[in-house]
């Protein structure tokens, strides 16, 4: 048995996740964990599966039979690298401000200067009724060295522009 990550991108349609689940089951796989989203009619997902090595090609072939999907299957990280990551500090950084071109680049560049790994990120732009502008929000889950001073990270992100608010919540150790 080998842990693998299956990535799927394509046209969204009802029943797609069920069809993928059946492909995994038919390939003698076990669904471990997953993350999905739908953007502008496109479906994107990641699924970590455990399956016999000799069934990898069968899983990919059966998923390719599903309509208009791009599929990849790659080995997941080994247990040693996952154990190393558990020693890191995890936090959720929420950034809110007026939307503008380049705001995501500014935030990610700032995080990079602190050697922070972004493990998950969700962004939205919504109408701000009383402001007349779009309101940008990013929710960024990070992993970093345990000694990282998150107050300095917050200060650096807030220096990007005058209208940005930053909240940081440290996640409990796993």
Are 19 and 55 members of one domain?
Answer: yes
Are 90 and 165 members of one domain?
Answer: yes
Residue 115, domain member (yes or no):
yes
Are 33 and 93 members of one domain?
Answer: no
Q: Which of 50, 76, 102 is the endpoint of a domain?
A: 76
The percent helix, strand, coil of the chain (3-state, each to 5) is: 30, 45, 30
pLDDT on residue 127? 87
Separation CA 89–CA 103 (nearest Å): 25
Q: What string of pLDDT tens digits covers the 174 residues of the chain? A: 899 999 999 999 999 999 999 999 999 999 999 999 999 999 999 999 999 999 999 999 998 888 788 989 999 876 445 555 557 899 999 999 999 999 999 999 999 999 999 999 999 999 877 767 889 999 999 999 999 999 999 999 999 998 899 999 999 876
What's the domain range around 37? 2-76
Token pair for residue 146?
């345990």
SS3 of 78-109: the string is CHHHHHHHHCCEEEEEEEEEECCCCHHHHHHH
Look at the chain and report how many structural domains it folds into: 2
Are 66 and 107 members of one domain?
Answer: no
Are 45 and 112 members of one domain?
Answer: no
Residue 81, domain member (yes or no):
no
Residue 16, sorted as left (phi over 0), alpha (psi -120 to 50) or beta, turns out to be alpha
Are 42 and 96 members of one domain?
Answer: no
Scan for tokens 């990610």, then name that residue: 108
Are 108 and 137 members of one domain?
Answer: yes
122 touches 36 (CB < 8 A): no
8-state DSSP, 132:
S
Are 97 and 30 members of one domain?
Answer: no
Give the CATH number, domain containing residue 97.
3.30.70.260
Token pair for residue 11?
């046209």
Cβ atoms < 10 Å from Cβ of 51: 22
Are 37 and 11 members of one domain?
Answer: yes
pLDDT on residue 141? 95
pLDDT on residue 157? 97
Are 22 and 60 members of one domain?
Answer: yes
List Cβ neighbours of 115 (8 Å cut-off, separation of 6 or more): 144, 145
Residue 36, domain member (yes or no):
yes
Are 166 and 137 members of one domain?
Answer: yes
Are 16 and 37 members of one domain?
Answer: yes
| Single pTM value for the model | 0.77
Q: Which of 52, 76, 100 is the endpoint of a domain?
A: 76
List Cβ neighbours of 166 (8 Å cut-off, separation of 6 or more): 93, 94, 95, 154, 157, 158
pLDDT on residue 173? 76
């Amino acid at each position: 048995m080998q842990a693998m990550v299956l990535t799927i991108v394509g046209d969204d349609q009802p029943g797609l996740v069920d069809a993928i689940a059946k492909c995994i089951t038919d390939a003698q796989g076990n669904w471990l964990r997953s993350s999905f989203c739908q953007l502008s009619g496109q479906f994107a997902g990641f699924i970590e599966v455990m399956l016999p090595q000799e069934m990898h090609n069968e899983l990919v072939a059966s998923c390719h039979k599903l309509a208009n999907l791009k599929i990849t299957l790659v080995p997941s990280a080994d247990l040693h690298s996952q154990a190393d990551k558990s020693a890191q500090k995890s936090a959720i950084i929420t950034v809110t401000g007026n939307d503008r071109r380049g705001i995501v680049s500014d935030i990610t560049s700032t995080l990079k200067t602190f050697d922070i790994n972004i493990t998950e990120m969700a962004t939205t732009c919504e109408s701000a009724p009383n402001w007349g502008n779009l309101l940008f929000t990013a929710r960024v889950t990070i992993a970093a060295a345990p000694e990282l001073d998150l107050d300095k990270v917050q200060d650096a992100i807030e220096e990007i522009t005058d209208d940005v608010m930053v909240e940081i919540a440290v996640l409990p150790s796993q």
